[in-house]
Structures are given as C-alpha cells and as structure tokens.
Structure 1
Amino acid sequence: MNLLSWNCRGAASKSFPARLRDVLKGKQANLVILVETRVSGVKADRIMKKLGFNNWIRVEATGYAGGIWLLWNDDEVNIHYESSTTQLLHVRVSMVNSNHSFWLSCIYAEPSCQLRTALWHDLTHISRSMSEPWLVIGDFNAYLSNADKKGSDHLNVTSMRQFNDCIQQTHLIEVDCVGDRFTWERDILKERIDWAFTNDLWLQRYPLTKVHHLCKFGSDHRPLFIRNSPDRWERQHTPAFRCQAAWFLEEDFINVVDQCWKEGSWNEKIALFTHEAREWNKRRVGNIPAKKNSLMKRIEEVDKKRRRRDNQYLAQTEKELWKEYNKALAQEELLWFQKSRCNWLKWGDKNSKFFHSSAIIHRRRNRVEGLKNSRGDWIFDQQELKRMAQDYYQKLFQSSLTGAPSLHTRHSFPLLSDGDYLLLSAEVSDTEIKAQLST
C-alpha cells in the first residue's frame, strides 16, 4: 500500500492536475490525500475528475480555506466513510488484493491554536475505541518540540503542549521520516508541521513503515509519501549471536554452559558455546510465540477429552501443559523486554505489549533507508547504498601520508618489574571474582 498526503495550497489552478501527476510519477500511490484545496462544490467535482482516480470523498472547503480530499481507484482499495469534521476525515480502508484493512485519519488542522483543540478532542475520542491498525497523517499546523522549528526563536509553547498531550493520550507513535526534517518553509523560517503517526497495531503489521518528505512542488509544504514494506524484516545476513534471558527459565540450559566451559581457551569456549546454544535453542525453546500457540491447542484438546471421559492421567497432563504455558508466557515477556532495551520498567509487570512496540521502534530507527551522496542528493537504492558505504570506509582508512611518521619521545618508557609482570599476567581466581560480585 502506497499513500501520499500533500498540503497543495489550492487546487483551482489549471496547472494543478499536471503538477499532481508530476508529484505522483513513479510512486504507484493507492491513496492520495490533498488538504487545503480551497475549492468546493461543482468546481471541485470538475477538478477531481481530471486527477486520474475513479472515486473520492471530500470535506468541503470553508470559503477560501481548508478542504480535505481523499482519492483512490476502486480496483485497488475499498473505502468505508466513518466520520468527518472541517479538520478530520476518518475512514476504514480495505485492500482489494489482500485481507488487510486499517483505519485512516486525514488531517488538516486549523491554523488557530484555540480551534485545534476540537481536533485533539476528536482524535482522543477515536483512539478509545481503536482495535485495528490506525494511520493518522496530514497537516497538523503544529510542531512537537523546538527542534521542529528553524529560523526563529519564538515558540508557541501552548500549541506544543496541547499537541504533545494529544499524542500521549491517543498512544500514537511518530513515523520516522526520510529526507529533509522540515515540511514547511517560508523565507528563512522552516517548521515540521506535516506529520504521520500510527498505533502499535500498525507497527506490528507494517514494522518498516517510514514517511518520505518529498521535494516541494509549487507549494510551501513537502508532500508526505508512505510506501509500506513487507510484513516481515528482511535479513541480509546471519544475525549476531545473543544469549537470551529467556533461556535461563529452562532447567537444562545450565548443562549446556557447563559442557562448553570445561576445556579449551577462552575463544574456543566462546565459539563452542555459541554453536551449542544455537542448536539447543532450536531443539528446546524454538519460536516462543509459536510454542505458546501450540500449547494452547494441546490444552484445548485435553480439556475436550476430559469433558468426554475424565481420568487422573488427563488431569495431570493438563496441569503440566499449563505449567509449560505459563513458562512460555514468562519467556515471551523476557524476550521482548530484552529486545526493547528498556530499563525503566520492571520485568514481570506484564508489559509485553509495550516491550514489543519498543523493540519494533528501536529496530526501525536503526534501519538505514537512505543516504546523502557527495552532491547532497538522497539515495534510496539498496545496491547504491551498499556501494556508498563500502567506498566511504575504504577512503576513511586510506592513509594520505607519503611516509611513516617518526615518533620522538623525550624519555624512555618505564619498564615493569618482574613482580608486576607476574601479577598482571596471572589468571583471575574464583575468589577474586566472588569478591567483585559481592561488592
């Protein structure tokens, strides 16, 4: 699913259809959101028929201000209208070629801080009943922090506070951007006032979602473009080995450690443990969510058998399965707790959903989507990105010196005594380790 949102600053000009086609060129957008169109009625119908889509919904402009247009093709998506105000168009989107659906809120916020409070209230109300993936995108006419404004020291603190309060109350998550941070520009003043937000259910389905800030096309706002990547993370290499905290809930894991740590050098022990732990994990732990689902099915089967003909064996089997299921639950929470790298919440407080979202956000922000080349152009092609990274490090470690530099020291370095040398090279004893752990 590809989506474009743009504050076009008016759609009445004769050149607008051609300008929009240039913006959409090569994007294969399934949904297009246009805000601040400043056109309504019959004139709006006439313009929308020229934009290359066979269906649309719109919130009419108020005089020469506002307006929200949503355009799509029926052979790609189905749209179910839910509600609208002058600042918000809320719909349910279903993809024709898949069973995926989500909620979409198209935003054009009032320039007045006081009038925007109605929008914050509406979004908060919608969030309370949201149980599916949700995308909120458009022109919010507000920034979240002082980093979102450049060219002026004046900050609208009230607007920032209200906007931040709304995002916290709705539990929305900012979509990371690619390209220039600022989406609006006038003279020397730049601001980021066009945003995309999602809920955690959206991130679970589309973890690689990013919003691209495109070049300005006859408007002082940058178009926002979202191209949803596959539902799973693409692995380009073998993942690094990590000792999972969830393994320690298995009683036989300590045996794996003991067997690997008996003989050999430090490096040999590490290599052996890495290999054996991987193999043990495949046999003993495996995919924890899948393991948990399998246990639930087995519990349901045993429960059906007990309803037909109960006996001591089935009762004991059900008891053992519930024990395994509770352990799998604890392992799942530990897994996401460790991946989230969150140290301010306590493990064991049933925060698996929060840990899962934190891990997805952390992983998404670490992913390199684009790089600027030496001319200042953004590059997104994966092969070109690999070549740029390789060239960068090759040049970084090349020496520009024609000869080896000579080192001049005024005094010779002091030598270690035999006693100091023996002390430093001695093996660390168990007593020393215990003493340090107990301090």
Structure 2
Amino acid sequence: MRLISWNVRGLNAPNKRRLIKSQLELMKCDLVLLQETKLNLQSADRLFSSWKVWNFCSSPSLGASGGLAIIWKDSAIHFSLVALSSNWMLGIVKRRTSNLKFWLFNVYGPSGIIEKRMLWNSLITLTTPLQNVFLIFGGDFNAIANLNEKVGGIIPNKRVILDFSNFIQYLSLVDCMPLNGSFT
C-alpha cells in the first residue's frame, strides 16, 4: 500500500486539479491525505466524484484557508471516517488484500501558538482511548520539532518547537523523512 500526504495549497484551479490527479496516478497511490484543499463541501464533492477510481471524505475550508480530504482507491482500501474537525480527520483503514488495519489522522495545523497547543492537546485526548492500536499521523502540522528542519523564513517561537516536540514524544510518534523532495 502506498500512502501519500500532500499539502496541495488549493485545488480550485482546473490545471492544478489535473496535475494533482495525474501525479497521484503516476505515484500509484492507494491512500492520500490532502491538506489545504481550500474547497467547500460542494466543490470537494464535485471534484472527487469526477475522479472515478477514488473514493473520498473531506472537511471544508474555512473561507479561503484550510480544508482537508482523504481519498482512497476503493479496490485496495476500506476507509471509515470516525470523526473530523477543521484541523483533523480520523478514520480506520483496512487493506482489502490483507489483515492490515490502522487508525489514520490527517492533520492541518493552525498558525497561531495558542491554537497549536489546543490542537496538540485535543489529539492527545483523542488518542488516549486508542492505546493498543496502530496509529498513523499524516499532514501539515505547521510546526517543526527542531530548528534543523527550518529552511529560510522566520525562526519559529522556541516554545512552539518545544510543544510540538513534546507532543511527538508523548505519543511516541516517529517523524518520517520524505522519500523525494525537501518537505515532510
């Protein structure tokens, strides 16, 4: 199974939609987490319904920012949405050809310091009852766990880095490095 997490930075332009769809087909993805779709529910429904091979669920953008989607190939994956908010989606993934089953979070982190802390706390609360299950977190957390991850731009608040680092440690998460490209 191939899982991709991608901050698409908007899916409103037709050319971008075609590019994203062709890239997903080229990468032979089974399961895709999209962040920052910038789509309302009707636009997401229209778009992903036209991608015949894919099934989907989405959380709408707030105005012109945010928006999440999880799309999957129904022939390979069974996905059940459990819960969602404007910053995360949670579901159960079962691979159709094996016994593989896991819980999956798609996360789009807010930019504000207080909102980030609230998100980390809510994700910890959500995962507390899921102690003996396999969890995968994907997405754009809009945070870094250490300064070595930052390339250019404004240096983030050290408290935010510490908070995110503590969140990762508390949940015993493993930060996977990208296979291609410079972004996680």
Amino acid at match of 2:77: V
Q: Output aligned runs, 1:185-224, within 5 Å.
A: 194=184
In structure 1, stretches of 5+ residues that fail to align are 184-193, 195-439
Matched, 1:139 2:179: no
Q: Report what 1:120 is aligned to.
A: 120
Give distance in 1, aligned partners of 2:28 and 2:154. Answer: 40
Residue 50 of structure 1 and its aligned partner are, at CA, apart by 2.7
Coordinate RMSD, CA, aligned: 1.7
Residue 72 of structure 1 and its aligned partner are, at CA, apart by 1.3
Q: Report what 1:36 is aligned to.
A: 36
Amino acid at match of 2:158: V
Q: Deviations over 1:229-262 (max 9, x none)?
A: xxxxxxxxxxxxxxxxxxxxxxxxxxxxxxxxxx
Amino acid at match of 1:29: C
Amino acid at match of 2:26: G
Q: Would the aligned equivalents of 1:17 and 1:50 in 2 still touch at CA under 8 Å?
A: no
Matched, 1:78 2:75: no
Give distance in 1, aligned partners of 2:154 and 2:116. Answer: 22
Give distance in 2, aligned partners of 1:38 and 1:160. Answer: 26
Question: Aligned in 2, Cα 1:55/1:147: closer, same or farther, shift over 3 Å?
Answer: same
Amino acid at match of 2:73: N
Q: Report what 1:53 is aligned to.
A: 53
Give distance in 1, aligned partners of 2:78 and 2:110. Answer: 29
SS state at 1:69 partner = strand
Number of equivalent positions? 183
Q: Would the aligned equivalents of 2:55 and 2:74 in 1 still touch at CA under 8 Å?
A: yes
Give distance in 2, aligned partners of 1:46 and 1:80. Answer: 20
Say which structure is richer in helix.
1
SS state at 2:10 partner = coil
Amino acid at match of 1:47: L
Q: Report what 1:335 is aligned to.
A: none
Question: Aligned in 2, Cα 1:71/1:179: closer, same or farther, shift over 3 Å?
Answer: closer
Q: Report what 2:7 is aligned to.
A: 7
Q: Would the aligned equivalents of 1:76 and 1:97 in 2 still touch at CA under 8 Å?
A: yes
Give distance in 1, aligned partners of 2:105 and 2:156. Answer: 27
Question: Aligned in 2, Cα 1:26/1:162: closer, same or farther, shift over 3 Å?
Answer: same
Amino acid at match of 1:107: V
Say which structure is richer in strand.
2
Identity %: 24
In structure 2, stretches of 5+ residues that fail to align are none
Residue 132 of structure 1 and its aligned partner are, at CA, apart by 1.6
SS state at 2:63 partner = coil
Q: Report what 1:158 is aligned to.
A: 159
Give distance in 2, aligned partners of 1:165 and 1:113. Answer: 14
Q: Would the aligned equivalents of 2:41 and 2:59 in 1 still touch at CA under 8 Å?
A: no
Q: Would the aligned equivalents of 1:68 and 1:89 in 2 still touch at CA under 8 Å?
A: yes
Give distance in 1, aligned partners of 2:61 and 2:72. Answer: 20
SS state at 1:103 partner = strand
Q: Deviations over 1:284-310 (max 9, x none)?
A: xxxxxxxxxxxxxxxxxxxxxxxxxxx
SS state at 1:143 partner = coil
Q: Output aligned runs, 1:245-260, within 5 Å.
A: none
Q: Report what 1:27 is aligned to.
A: 27
Question: Aligned in 2, Cα 1:42/1:176: closer, same or farther, shift over 3 Å?
Answer: closer
Residue 159 of structure 1 and its aligned partner are, at CA, apart by 1.1
Q: Report what 2:149 is aligned to.
A: 148
Q: Deviations over 1:18-74 (max 9, x none)?
A: 111332243211111111111113222111123343421111111111110111122
Residue 152 of structure 1 and its aligned partner are, at CA, apart by 5.0
TM-score (norm: length of structure 2): 0.91
Give distance in 2, aligned partners of 1:158 and 1:98. Answer: 43
Instruction: Work out which of the two has the higher radius of gyration on C-alpha atoms and give 1 or 2.
Output: 1
Amino acid at match of 1:135: I
Residue 78 of structure 1 and its aligned partner are, at CA, apart by 0.9
Give distance in 2, aligned partners of 1:51 and 1:151. Answer: 36
Give distance in 2, aligned partners of 1:111 and 1:53. Answer: 34
Amino acid at match of 2:58: R
